[in-house]
Amino acid sequence: MIANTPIRAERIASDIAALAEITEPGRPYTRRAFTPKFLEGRAWLEQAMRGAGAVTQIDVAGNLIGTIPGRHPELGTIMLGSHSDTVPDGGRFDGIAGVIAALEVARALRDQGVVLDHTLEVADFLAEEVSIFGVSCIGSRGITGTRPAEWLARQSDGVTLEGAIGAVGGNAQRLGQRDDIKAFLELHIEQGPVLQEQKLDVGVVTAIAGITRIEIIVEGRADHAGTTPMGSRKDALSTAAWIALGVEELGKALASGTAHFAATVGEFEMTPNAANVVPARVRMLIDARAELREDMERFIDELDKGVVAIAEKTGVTVSVPRLVSDNPPTPCDPDLLDILDQACESAGARHRRMASGAGHDTAWMARITKAAMIFVPCVDGRSHAPDEFATTDDIALGAAVLLDTVRALDAKLQEEN
């Protein structure tokens, strides 16, 4: 348990357990955005926010917002939050821990009789995970004015994204960027093993890694697998395998520095995919993530050169690697990082600075305000799986860090104005 803090771990545990019960039958823990179970979870959260003294609304982007007015609302808003939707057969903590920690901060302030000068908002962002419409971070992109207009025409089972946003209470036609949010903070489970392995309590996130996806097409020639001599083949699969190994080798080299880097061949399609036919074609999709943009540029350059060399060696045609998507890294606000470090010290949390290899709503909130996030450990780094787990005490300690940070920010933001 944490001493000298109004954060109550038992409330956090109870809330997470209650949301975990709201799941698709036989599919723990599944509450995908826009589904009836998601709306049921939202209704539970809305009541919990009201119980903490917040006024609730669904904003035009479809986010659930709980607002606790400050003594001087003209100073603007400090926002905390994350997301309550899950991946299919996901976990109880990804996103949910951040929403509940934000809610607990609001309750702790109420319990102490503290009213901030700034307005405090607790946010449950819509569809942070990849949704049934094939896109993610719909709510945080909406609130920051960065949601592509063409997304609204996307369909799932005959329903457009525009219609789905309306069905959860939003209004996609009234999209607009907010200018009153002075700072945003998000708590999240790490989704990796670093904090656990290093026996640390909190990760102060320096940046959200940029994500680049690259498609490569390998064109070989289909031949009879039994009669075509080994030296006469144009095997697309073996050439693709050389490329995949090259991606791994290059990724490891870039990851050996101090900044975060990872590269994965995550999609792989082979045709004709028959046991007795030499593979004729392979499509591969590379997912690369970098804390530093220069590392990503080096990766792309080395990949281009490597693909040419492998094609020359095997005699198989390989396309020029094509950028499918290319999002730059998002640094967190340096002033917020300093305040978070100080709050960790005050709360007695063993901490380190680290980058996030996964995408988060924070990356979009950073487009319009000071933004930062903290990680708390998750057991064995497991996430996006039913056995995803974080201890209540770890989440509560993270919430205590958030609480101290909010109180410090309430004063510091006024000094800056």
CATH architecture type of domain 9-208+330-416? 3-Layer(aba) Sandwich (3.40)
Share of the chain above pLDDT 90, in %: 96
Sketch the domain layout of the chain as residue ranges.
Answer: 9-208+330-416, 210-326
- Give the global pTM: 0.93
The 10s digit of each residue's pLDDT in 308-336 is 999 999 999 999 999 999 999 999 999 99
Mean pLDDT of 73-100: 97
At 176, the pLDDT band (50, 70, 90 cuts) reads confident
Identical fold, 9-208+330-416 and 210-326:
no
Mean pLDDT of 401-417: 94
Q: What is the pLDDT of residue 321?
A: 97
Q: What is the pLDDT of residue 2?
A: 62
Is pLDDT at 1 greater than 80 in this prediction?
Answer: no
The 10s digit of each residue's pLDDT in 271-290 is 999 999 999 999 999 999 99
Give residue 48's identity as a one-letter amino acid code.
A
In angstroms, how far is the first alpha carbon of the chain from the final one? 37
Q: Give the Cα separation of 121 and 274 in Å (integer).
A: 56
Is pLDDT at 182 greater than 70 in this prediction?
Answer: yes
Is pLDDT at 417 greater than 80 in this prediction?
Answer: no
The 10s digit of each residue's pLDDT in 101-137 is 999 999 999 999 999 999 999 999 999 999 999 999 9
Q: Give the Cα separation of 139 and 131 in Å (integer).
A: 11
Is pLDDT at 175 greater than 90 in this prediction?
Answer: no
Q: What is the pLDDT of residue 177?
A: 84
Measured in degrees and rounded to the nearest 5, phi and psi for residue 347 equal -85, -5
Q: Rounded to the nearest 10 degrees, how much is the dihedral formed by the CA atoms of 335, 338, 344, 347?
A: -70
Q: Which fold has domain 210-326?
A: Alpha-Beta Plaits (3.30.70)
Q: What is the pLDDT of residue 174?
A: 86
Q: What is the pLDDT of residue 4?
A: 81
